[in-house]
Structure 1
Amino acid sequence: MNPAAQIAFRVAVAFVALGLGGASVAALVGLVLSHVGPSGSASVSLCSKDAVAPAGGRDYLAQNNVWGAETPQCVTVGDQSLRIESAEHDVPPQGAPAATPSLVRGCHWRECTDVGDLPVQVSAMSRVTSDWVTSQVDAGVFNAAYVVWFHSGPVAESTPDGAELVIWLRSRGGVRPGGVLLAREVAISDAKWNVWLARDQGRVRVTYERVGEVTSVKGLDISAFTQDSVGRGQVSPDWYLIAVEAGFNLWRGGAGNAIEQFSVSVEGEKPRKAIGTPAPAACFAALTVEDTWEGGFRAVVEVINVGGSPVGGWVLDWTFPDGQRVQESAAVRVTQSGSAVRVVGTALEPGGSTTFDLVGSGVPPGIVSITCSPA
């Protein structure tokens, strides 16, 4: 069956399931087939906020995915491609985006592509790579990012309950990843990435923000990002990778951005060594220097309970790299022996977080690796 007929057939099946009559289905099929170009490739327009359509046979789906606003948006879907034709969004960049038009391989909530190599259990994951080519405008507020979804079972019938792994390639308009900064310039898949941690709707969200923005990637090693998150305790080896999607988070505007080509490859061979063993950790912490002066600095430490149960208290341990000393801190108990620092804090509910300031002497520290343990 050619691509146009496949799209027409799947759109027809979807609308039959919704109870539309034969005349309506015939009209919809005609609309899809009317977008066939001279080469036989097909395109279809999506304007409904929740609309989906095949995007290249059975292996890929496109979604309009307007979820954070009520403003209109339309996309044109082709063979493993998508173009944003109109987007009238204008939401604050400090909050959630208005929409995430994207292409998907795997299962996004209950919408699934017809592929046999996803889902795959993390502990048995072979190499998963992706190519993605975009064209991007220089107006509006948006980012271009992958989202890799993990779930406790092989199919997510509703919201995925594992982790959301975001691979952030480029942004415009000053948007930045949410959460706390865990690490800087981590080398993965031939590039360097800043690693952020947040919790959203009961899930852990790990964001890998590329150092040096790009508009296309080739052979991006998604399994390597997964392995890094397993090693950090963010992703469980027992979970399943259920979907890889690539698209644009839109806060303001976005028309003209396009996915020119997108593909995901899952190698058939099993890995020689299973990926990781840790279970997701209960708490994480990150230190950010906010102010500096000659001979001193002020830092903010954020602690997050990323587990599913309350913690009765927490203990932070870190070692300053250059002999810095804590001079004062409010609301927490700090002890220091040499360069080793220990902070003890109180209870945190699941998803809860707390921050505290500390004033230190010495040169401002760079990345400080903090161990957070439930008390």
Structure 2
Amino acid sequence: MTLRNRFVTLAALVSIGLGALSTPAVAATTLCHSQTASVAGGTYIVQNDEWNSSANECISTSGGADFAVVNSSMNSPTGQPPAGYPSIYKGCHWGACTPNSGFPIQVSALSAGKVTTSWSTSQPAGSNVYDVAYDVWYNQSASTSGQPNGTEVMIWLAHNGNVGPAGSKVGTVTVGGVQYDVWYARQSGWNLVSYARTNPTTSVNDIDVHDLTADSVGRGYLQNSWWLIDVEAGFELWKGGTGLATHSFSVTVN
């Protein structure tokens, strides 16, 4: 065997070895029309949650704590509730629960640093109309199989288009060094409190759920005897939304 052929043979063997060691790409899971998927080893659930529309709209997830809107024909009036809320959550959403979440937690036991959350997103502009918001749910009892009857606390990171929180603006507060406009609306059976950042962002790190919870309690919109059951993060869609993405999401219960 010539020296050149030895090198060719060695290169081929190395190539075969590397091929054997390579990991096949994980196929994405596509979810349409309110389908759900357990992700990140069961830690979270990704849900398409198209609750107010029948338009074609789908999201995909790699199976980690991520998802992206891959197509959306949604087109709902901005003066009405959103068409849907593709999102990811930890806890119990309408009785569908992630295992070993650490929830429920009674509000009176929700001390500083007990529950923290981080979230990274992509937010396309253009004619898309949406908000980028957490949905943190509190129920008057420790569990429910349907609509929670306590308080819904939304944390708006940003929005695109002519949309805003429901109800009326009731104040401005600075929590954790971030300034929020505070909005309140009484819904049919529960309170809705929205904290809209005055300085929009695409990502947040280690938001302490206790801080905004305490503010809502102080305003009389939430009771210490109620229970934190769920932390969700996603995009309320009115129009379009293709390209919106959650790159990473975490909820830590200490």
Matched with 2:206 is 219
Within the candidate set 228, 234, 240, 1:241 is matched to 228
> How many angstroms does 1:39 deviate by?
6.5
> How many angstroms does 1:182 deviate by?
0.7
Does 1:141 pair with 2:126?
Answer: no
Matched with 1:56 is 40
Matched with 2:149 is 161
Gap regions ≥5 residues in structure 2: 1-21
8 Å CA contact 2:167–2:185 kept in 1: the answer is yes
8 Å CA contact 2:38–2:46 kept in 1: the answer is yes
- How many pairs does the alignment contain? 229
Matched with 1:46 is 31
* Residues 128, 40 of structure 1: alpha-carbon distance in 2 compared, 3 angstrom cutoff: farther
Matched with 2:179 is 192
Within the candidate set 116, 132, 152, 2:119 is matched to 132
> How many angstroms does 1:120 deviate by?
0.6
SS of residue matched to 1:57: helix
Does 1:178 pair with 2:159?
Answer: no
Gap regions ≥5 residues in structure 1: 1-36, 268-375
8 Å CA contact 1:58–1:115 kept in 2: the answer is no
Does 1:81 pair with 2:71?
Answer: no
Between the aligned partners of 2:27 and 2:252, the Cα distance in structure 1 is: 23
Amino acid aligned to 1:165: V
8 Å CA contact 1:60–1:113 kept in 2: the answer is yes
* Residues 42, 54 of structure 1: alpha-carbon distance in 2 compared, 3 angstrom cutoff: farther
Amino acid aligned to 2:52: G
Does 1:93 pair with 2:78?
Answer: yes
Between the aligned partners of 2:23 and 2:200, the Cα distance in structure 1 is: 36
CA RMSD of aligned residues (A): 1.4
* Residues 39, 227 of structure 1: alpha-carbon distance in 2 compared, 3 angstrom cutoff: farther
> How many angstroms does 1:201 deviate by?
2.2
8 Å CA contact 1:230–1:236 kept in 2: the answer is yes
Amino acid aligned to 1:234: Y
Moved over 4 A (4+): 39-42
Matched with 1:254 is 241
Matched with 1:102 is 87
8 Å CA contact 1:122–1:238 kept in 2: the answer is yes
Amino acid aligned to 1:204: N
The superposition leaves residues 258-309 of structure 1 with CA deviations (integer Å, 9 ceiling, x where unpaired) of 0000001111xxxxxxxxxxxxxxxxxxxxxxxxxxxxxxxxxxxxxxxxxx
Matched with 2:5 is none
How high is the TM-score relative to the length of structure 2? 0.87
After TM superposition, list the pairs within 5 Å mapping 1:30-41 onto structure 2: 38=23
Amino acid aligned to 1:150: Y
Amino acid aligned to 1:148: V
SS of residue matched to 1:169: strand
The superposition leaves residues 73-118 of structure 1 with CA deviations (integer Å, 9 ceiling, x where unpaired) of 1110220000100110001111100010000100010211002411
8 Å CA contact 2:182–2:196 kept in 1: the answer is yes
Between the aligned partners of 2:148 and 2:102, the Cα distance in structure 1 is: 18
How high is the TM-score relative to the length of structure 1? 0.59
8 Å CA contact 1:55–1:103 kept in 2: the answer is no
Between the aligned partners of 2:181 and 2:24, the Cα distance in structure 1 is: 43
Higher RCO structure, 1 or 2 (CA under 8 Å, sep 6+): 2
